[in-house]
Each structure stands twice: as C-alpha cells, then as structure tokens.
Chains A and B, each alone.
Chain A
Amino acid sequence: MTREPLPDTDPPARATDLRLAGAWLARHDLTYTRPTPLLANRLAVRERARLAAQVILAVLIIASALAATSAFGGSQPHRPLPLLALTALVAGLLLAQSLLDRWVRRVDQRAGATLSRRAAHLIHPGWRTVLGRPYAVFAVATFTGAMALAASALTIPDPTVRQLAVILLIGLLGVTAINAMQLRHLLRYPVVAEDEESLTADVIMRVEDARDLTTPSVQWSLPMVLLFGTAPGWLSAAAVAYLILGLAAYIALRARTPSSTTVARRAMSTR
C-alpha cells in the first residue's frame, strides 16, 4: 500500500479516518499492513454509505407503517392513495440507493486514480465468494418467508388484512430491489488495490458488506409491524415463529461460517 504522507485538506478528520482504518486492519488480522489514506478514505465513505443505507431501510419501515395506518384511518375501507404514495416512495428510495452506490464508486475511482501502481486479480470474486452459499440461502429463505406471510394474509377475506398484506408486499418488493441493487454493485464495482494486502482488504470489505446485506431487518420487522395483532391468531403465530426461526438461523450462521478475513484469504490463495 502507499506509504506517502497525506496531502491533507482536513487533518483532524483524516487522522480519525486513519486511526479507524488501523483498528479495522487489526480487527481483520492485517496488523502488518499500514493504514493508508486510500484505505482510510474508502472505509470512511463505506461507513457513511452503510449508515445512509440503514436510514433508507428505516424510512421504508416507517413509511410502510404510516401507509398502513393512513390506509385505514379514514371512513373509506379502501384508500389507494397511501399505496400509491408508498410505491412512489419505494421508487424514490431505490433512486437514493443508486445514487449512494454511485457516490461510493466515484470516491473509489478518485482514490484509484491517485495510485501509481494498480493491482487486480484475473478472477473477479463472484457471488459464491463474496456472499457465500449459506448466506445466499439464508437471504432467500428470509425473503421467501416474509413473502409467504404476506401471500397467506392475502387469502384472508377480511379487507383490512388484505390491504395490509398489499402494503407488506410493496415494502418487501422494495427492500428486495434495494438489496439486489446493493449486491449487484458489490459484485461489479472495480477493484481498488495496489498490492496483495490491499487486494485482500478489498475482498474483506466486499464480504462484510454482502453479509450485512443479508441481515433481514426489514423482512423480520415489516410482518410484525403490519400484521401482528391485526391478522388472525394463526398468522400472528406464524409471524412470531418466522422471526424466532430466522433469528436462530442467523445466530447459527454467524457462529459457524468463517470470518470475512478467512473467506478473503482463501479467495486470494486460489487466485
């Protein structure tokens, strides 16, 4: 990695980023690698992008809950306006996520342009490396479970429950699209590295981000927020069972799968 001193424009902020980059390297058993401005910059941007992505998901949950309450707040049983507003908001959040990904890519491009050496492996890490089969199966299972809950609520004759199920489906489709967009970005954006260690760091970042994507915050919370207590007892019980099973699977997955560092090192050794 680059060893030059920083051309600082904002020394305190850069020093903080460098310190955090040092801690990140230590956490990933890269203690012999010096935190460089490139890595510090990339990690700082990534943290902000992660935070913004979490805000996007939180907005989606809150908007779905608001759409659910306003859809049934009036005298008319079916009010299409909240559904349309939620759909428009989902489209807006997708756009926001796309802009966020573009921002990360642009910062990476700028960082890459400053490198005198640029390194890449000939085999780009695919989804099996970055996400891994167990995490992919888990993500598909949690999405399918949440969709199945929404679909089963659609079969209930009560119009209130059915409209809640529609809101749930809109929210879930929105978060599926946002996650798919993030994963596509992770798999396709160019490598920014100048040597073997920074290539490893690049793969670790991708693996960490991909694992974060599979944390099903919206998939777990939306059925509970929208259906629990409103739907018949069996559906609420199913929602609780889905949450508990999902949580147990998530804990087992975290405990039993190799760390992102191990995955990255294995990926590098086979290239």
Chain B
Amino acid sequence: MIVIDAASPVPPFEQLRAQLARQIQDRTLTVGARLPTIRNLAADLGLAVNTVGRAYRELEEAGLIETRGRAGSFVSAAGEEGRERARRAAADYAAVIASVGIDTGEAIRIVQAALTSGTSAPASS
C-alpha cells in the first residue's frame, strides 16, 4: 500500500519515491512486477501527473525500475543481480576464510571494517 500524507513536510514525490524504493528493496514488489501507469497512480493518490512522473524518473535513475516503452514501468532486475553478485562474493570470501583458518568472529570483523571504511581490505591473519 502507498500512502501520501498531504500534511507531511516531505514532498509528495519523495514520499512516493521512498515508499516504492522500500517496497522494491524488501521485495514486496518483486523483480518484473509491473507498476501502475503514472496517470492511474496520480489519479488514485490525488497527485499531479508530474509528481508521480518525477518519482518514477528518480527510481529509474537509481536502477530500481525500468521503462519498457509503451508496455509501462517494471521493477528492474538490477537490484536482484546486485544481491546475487554479493552472495557469490560472500561465498568466495567464506572459502578464503576457511582455507586460511580465520575464525568466524574475526572474519565478520574484517567484513565490518571493510564496509565501514568503504574499501576492500585484504584479509590478513
């Protein structure tokens, strides 16, 4: 469900964009799911067509949805592919950890440090 609160200080397009992005990320909206047309969603939510159009455009720029011409807008597979790559990398990392004999706690700390610094720190024992 999408709810737009007219009294909120957050602009309506941002409310819509954030709710759609959240639903795509938590897979309430699955890959390939078709989104309503801009005009229909605008009518249902009592918003201007441009407002919904802007939210869709930003989601498209973020790679969360894709527009296939006149067929409409769909939830993009890009997010799902990213997850799959992360899963494969994690499996490779787990294999490296096992081969060099690092315990689980330290392996997790290494990952946390890498995520925090934003760099791919080499595993060192």
Contacts and interface: CB of A to CB of B under 8 A. Distances in A.
Contacts of A19: none
A122 B38 CA distance: 11
B2 A119 contact: yes
Chain A, interface residues (CB within 8 Å), range: 10 to 19
A271 B40 CA distance: 16
Contacts of A184: none
Contacts of A132: none
Given A113-B46, A191-B44, A122 B35 contact: yes
Contacts of A118: 3-4, 6, 44-47
Interface of B: 1-7, 20, 23, 29, 33, 35-36, 40-41, 43-47
Contacts of B33: 122
A119 B43 contact: no
Interface of A: 112-113, 115-124, 190-191, 194-196, 199, 271
Question: Helix, strand, loop or mixed for chain A's interface?
Answer: loop
A254 to B, nearest CB: 30
B101 to A, nearest CB: 49
B7 A122 contact: no
A117 B10 CA distance: 13
Given A124-B36, A124-B44, A191-B44, A117 B1 contact: no
A190 B33 CA distance: 21
Given A120-B2, A122-B36, A124-B36, A115 B29 contact: no
Given A196-B1, A199-B1, A120 B44 contact: yes
